[in-house]
Amino acid sequence: MPKNTSIRGLRAAGALTALASLGLVLSGCSSYDVHSPADARGDAKNGARVGAGAVDCAKERCIALTFDAGPSEHTPGLLDILKKEKVPATFFLLGKNHVIKHPDLVRRIAAEGHEVANHTWSHKILSGQDPDSVREELARTQDAIAEITGHKPTLMRPPQGRTNDEVAKVSRELGLAQIMWSATAKDYSTTDSELIKKRILDQADRDGIILLHDIYDGTVPAVPGIIEELKKRGYTFVTVPQLLAPGHAEPGKVYKP
C-alpha cells in the first residue's frame, strides 16, 4: 500500500480485503487467542457489573456499528443520522489525509459520545512491517487523535484484519486492543446502498461487530435502513467498549465475535 493512501487506493485493495472480509487473518504462527465479546464480559474481574443505566449486553441483544478509514466528507451526514437515531458507534480513524485533514470532525465524533479508535496512519498492512514501522503507524495516529481530543485511543483495527505476534506486541506497548468484525458489506466494491444494507442485515447477529466505511459514496445512505431494521429485530446499538462491559479490551489482545 502506498504511503499516500487515498480512497482510490483503498478501493484497489478490495481484492485483498475480501480475503479478510469476515475477520481475523493471522500471519505466521500465533501465540495468542482470539477473544469474543462474551469472553471479555466473562473475564471481568472482582465480580464487576455494568453500571446503573448502562446497557448490559449479557442480557440485551447488542450489536456494534463501526466505521473505518475516515473521517471524510461523508462523516458529517453520518453523524447527523447517528444523532437523530440515538445510536453510538465506534470510529477507527486513519491519521494521514483524514484525522489531520478533519480535526473538527474528530472532535465532533468524540463530543457526541462515539468511541474514537485507531486505524493506523497510512493504512499499511501491519503484518508485513517491521516492529518500528508498526509502532510508527499506530503511535502517530495515537498522538494526532490525542492532540485533538485530549485522549489516546484504547482500540485499534489492523488494516484488512491482518495481524501477527509482532503487531500484538507493539499494540500492547501502546495500550491498544485489536478489534475485528463479524459482518461487512464489502462497501469498497459497490455504490449500491440497498446491496450494502442487505449484506449487513444478512450477517447481523447478537454480539456482532459491523464493519462499514464512511469514505465510500454508497455507505452512509445505507445506514438509516440498517439501523431501522435492526431496531425492529430487537437490537440495541452499542460502542465496542459497551459490548465488552463490564469487561475491558486488554491491550494487545484480539477481539472478534
**Catalytic amino acids?**
68, 213
Find residue 212's DSSP bridge partners.
Answer: 67
Does pTM surpass 0.75? yes
Provide the residue count of the chain.
Answer: 257
Q: pLDDT (tens digit, 9 = 90+) per residue, 130-153?
A: 999 999 999 999 999 999 999 999
Among 39-43, 107-111, 206-210, the range scoring the smallest mean pLDDT is 39-43
Residue 32 — very low, low, confident or very high, per pLDDT cuts 50/70/90? low
Query: What single letter denotes the amino acid at residue 113?
Result: G
For residue range 60-100, list pLDDT tens digits in order: 999 999 999 999 999 999 999 999 999 999 999 999 999 99
Nearest to residue 236, comparing CAs of 146, 245, 197? 245
Closest C-alpha among 100, 157, 159 to residue 129: 159
pLDDT above 90 (res 21)? no
> Stretch 42-66: mean pLDDT, rounded?
86
Say if CB 70 and CB 94 are below 8 A apart: yes
* Tens-digit pLDDT profile for residues 216-241: 999 999 999 999 999 999 999 999 99
pLDDT score at 102: 98
Lowest mean pLDDT among 32-36, 176-180, 187-191: 32-36
56: its cell numbers: 448490559
CA pair distance 90, 172, nearest whole angstrom: 20
The model's pLDDT over 109-125, given as tens digits with 9 standing for 90+, comes to 999 999 999 999 999 99
The pLDDT confidence band at residue 26, using thresholds 50, 70 and 90, is low
In b/e form, how buried is each residue of 221-234, taking b as 16+ CB within 10 angstroms?
Answer: bbbebbbeebeeee
Q: Rounded to an integer, what distance in angstroms lies between the CA atom of residue 66 and that of residue 128?
A: 24
How many other C-beta atoms are found inside a 10 Å radius of the C-beta of residue 8? 8
Confidence at residue 46, expressed as pLDDT on a 0 to 100 scale: 64
Q: What is the pLDDT of residue 44?
A: 77
